A and B are shown apart, each in its own frame.
Chain A
Amino acid sequence: MPKLVKDGQLVQDPWQLVDAEATLESLPEGKIIVPLALWVEHRDTLWQRLPDIAVWLNGDEEVDPLKEDTEALPLIAVNFPTFTDGRGFSAGRLLRERYNFRGELRAIGYFLRDQMFYLHRCGFSAFTLDDRYEAEEALSALQDFTEYYQGAVVEPLPLFRRRQQG
């Protein structure tokens, strides 16, 4: 069972991830995370299931199709097909900073414990963890650094603006 770390705590995951091949007819009951393409195609129908529906996308997909939906969606997940694909980091910042998404931003797929600190700074608040990671280890990874030079979602002010205040 994959673990979920959310807002710095290990929690039970109430959501069910629906894979990319899913159709409108095959969707299960309950809280589900559907692929972006399906959401875009059946937006009006799926909208009815709010707040028990969420969307996931791959890092290489544009986030723009969600720009009208960020207020309504409770959760958006970004999938990392492989940990070296850094597009999801930009996707996270765009969702948070440009489209003001305030819900749960979840990293799914293949990423490393060593990237969680960066992901967190790019706005990710939840991480579906590989079995091999202990939750404690993952939680400590979020604290790899406690100070940073440039602004991002977590601490929008670059250090130079904070240095001046201090």
Chain B
Amino acid sequence: MYVYDEYDHKILSQRVAQFRGQMQRYLEGKLTDEEFLPLRLQNGLYIQRVAPMLRIAVPYGMLNSAQLRKLAHITREYDKGYCHVTTRQNIQLHWPTLEDVPDILAELATVQMHSIQTSGNCIRNTTTDQFAGVAPDEIVDPRPYCEIIRQWSTFHPEFAFLPRKFKIAVNAASEDRAAVLVHDIGVEIVKNDAGDLGYRIIVGGGLGRTPVIGSVIREFLPEKHLLTYLEAILRIYNRYGRRDNKFRARIKILVRAMGPEVFAEKVEEEWAHLKDGPATLTPEEIERAKSFFTSPPYKTLDPLAAESVVQEQAAQEPDFARWLSRNVRQHKVAGYAAVTLSLKRPGVAPGDLTDRQLELLADLADRYSFGEIRTTHEQNMVLADVEKTALYELWLELKPAGLATPNIGTITDIIACPGGDYCSLANAKSIPVAEDIQRHFSDLDYVYDLGNLELNISGCMNACGHHHVGHIGILGVDKKGEEFYQIQLGGRQGNNASLATVLGPSFGQDEVTSVIQKIVDVYVENRVEGEEFIDTFDRLGIEPFKERVYAKAS
């Protein structure tokens, strides 16, 4: 994991002082609400429905145990004892007081954490694959490149007041787990025919009120040109992106208006001036970034022996077997596994973690996974480096803490924004809808029989809950002041990302779960051997689902 040096520390401590001054000037009335707005947003501070909200950056999802303990302390001292993992792999506090925020930032800085650029019209936290560095299918570990982008984008003087927010994701695996097709810029690390490392650059994807799948504007960008090329894209966007209408201001609108080919030409033209300039990456810098993400001291393990131990434990304990089948993934090193800890237990808002859970996770990370843990954009946590023979023991510790729900990738592993319970933008609540669905689908055998089924909920069209790319997407809408829910089907994330289709007129909150049941029934009745929900949907189209859901009661 990246470790700050004196430069990083200096920049961060100057930021803490700067924000303390801004807050003071605001409280003294020297900054208007309007002026303070972008300044506080660039520090992750929202004024929400019931209280301020502070969004803490978790660069590309990496946390260590000291950071977890500090977060636990902060949630206890300054909040109500819990926090929330977001779909950008960040962590949110929903109950801090405004005046405490500078102190919280000072505390965070002691463990190399901050809230820099977690909101506002600037370059946001770069996200990546939660299995980076341990995934068997990756070309290279994407995290050094994420760190290079983090440093370049942090306090970038030219791009702090963009037309709108700007999100970059990096993927280096054959399976896209970073949703690069639905980001402002998707960076896909690839190798060309000559075996050289480089990037496929995708621009103008995004969800929100105008969901768009991104366009490839460059098939292969050589490794050293990453930052100059990003700078060229950002400059074109900063200069020509629309600023007259907030809802038309994302880069996807510009790319669409120009056409991806013309946009690409503009970028290339700009890049011609920047190419080979000082921002060109040096081999030393790439090596330096990589040096923070070397393999931990893995033991040489006998994979067959480990596997037989695990199989024996699984045979005796069906609950453990279930958890193994859904929450444990293959690791590139023999005898190790990557474990996803579900934050989707019924009765708890998706992605919420208590102070005690954070502390337990810190201990577990120290004991089982070299002191590190990751957040995922599906709002779960990952212990990436667990010895297979220790899985059973780990599971026994996770269970009583409510962190062993064996539902990863199933219908109850719901992605949901905080929704109308917290967010002032929301049209409708998300959390109670998620909870109702989780309670309804409580029979694990049935849930497993349904297999991989991604259900995503957003409380408004800003789409923080990624409803457009859920196999089943639920969108909260406002109808004359009342909360309704629109259902969408057939979206997906990943390499073949596609956007969902609206099923039809929306439903009241009390109807949603029964509608989901009907949709699932259509799948179960029509699936052919081995077909997942999304495959059946692709084959049948939306009509049979529509017919069932909107059938007149007979």
Contacts and interface: CB of A to CB of B under 8 A. Distances in A.
Interface in B134-185: 148, 151-163
B472 to A, nearest CB: 38
B298 to A, nearest CB: 29
A141 to B, nearest CB: 9
A156 B279 CA distance: 9
B160 A158 contact: no
A149 B14 contact: no
Nearest to A80: B161
B285 A160 contact: yes
Nearest to A112: B35
Indicate the size class of the contact surface on chain A: 35 or more
B162 A86 contact: yes
B157 A122 contact: yes
Given A145-B18, A145-B155, A159-B7, A150 B279 contact: yes
Contact of A147 (B7, B18, B161, B282): B7
B210 interface: no
Contact of A87 (B151, B152, B238): B238
A164 B285 contact: yes
B279 A87 contact: no
A152 B157 contact: yes
A143 to B, nearest CB: 9
Which among B10, B239, B284 has the highest number of chain A CB atoms within 10 Å?
B239
B7 A90 contact: no
Contacts of A89: 157-161, 238
B512 to A, nearest CB: 38
A146 interface: yes
A163 B11 CA distance: 14
B14 A144 contact: yes
Contact of B235 (A90, A156, A160): A90
Contact of A159 (B31, B35, B151, B235): B151
B551 to A, nearest CB: 50
Which among B22, B156, B161, B277 has the highest number of chain A CB atoms within 10 Å?
B161
Contacts of A114: 18, 22, 39
Contacts of A163: 5, 7, 288
Which among A86, A146, A157, A161 has the highest number of chain B CB atoms within 10 Å?
A86
B252 to A, nearest CB: 18
Interface string A77-98: 0000001111101100100001
A134 to B, nearest CB: 10
A98 B22 CA distance: 34
B121 interface: yes
A151 interface: yes
Interface residues of B, number: 42
A148 B282 contact: no
A150 B14 contact: no
B273 interface: yes
A106 interface: no
Given A85-B243, A114-B39, A145-B11, A158 B158 contact: no
Contacts of A119: 157
Interface in B260-296: 273, 277-279, 281-282, 284-285, 288
A118 interface: yes
Given A89-B160, A158-B278, A147 B10 contact: yes
B239 A84 contact: no
Contact of A85 (B35, B152, B161, B277): B161
Interface in A109-149: 112, 114-115, 117-119, 121-122, 132, 144-149
Given A146-B14, A147-B10, A164-B285, A86 B151 contact: no
Nearest to B161: A86
Interface in B1-32: 5, 7, 10-11, 14-15, 18, 22, 30-31
B494 interface: no
Which among A147, A150, A163 has the highest number of chain B CB atoms within 10 Å?
A150
A122 B238 CA distance: 14
A99 B140 CA distance: 39
Given A86-B160, A89-B158, A118-B160, A147 B11 contact: yes
Contacts of A83: 35, 38, 161
Interface of A: 83-87, 89-90, 93, 98, 112, 114-115, 117-119, 121-122, 132, 144-152, 156-161, 163-164
Given A83-B161, A115-B161, A149-B156, 18 more contacts: A84-B161, A86-B158, A87-B239, A87-B243, A89-B238, A93-B158, A114-B39, A118-B157, A118-B160, A132-B30, A144-B18, A146-B10, A147-B7, A147-B10, A152-B157, A156-B278, A158-B227, A163-B288
What are the nearest 6 A-B pairs in CB distance?
Answer: A86-B161, A121-B157, A118-B157, A160-B285, A149-B151, A89-B158
14 contacts: A86-B160, A86-B238, A87-B243, A114-B18, A117-B157, A132-B30, A145-B18, A146-B14, A147-B7, A147-B10, A150-B152, A158-B152, A159-B151, A160-B148
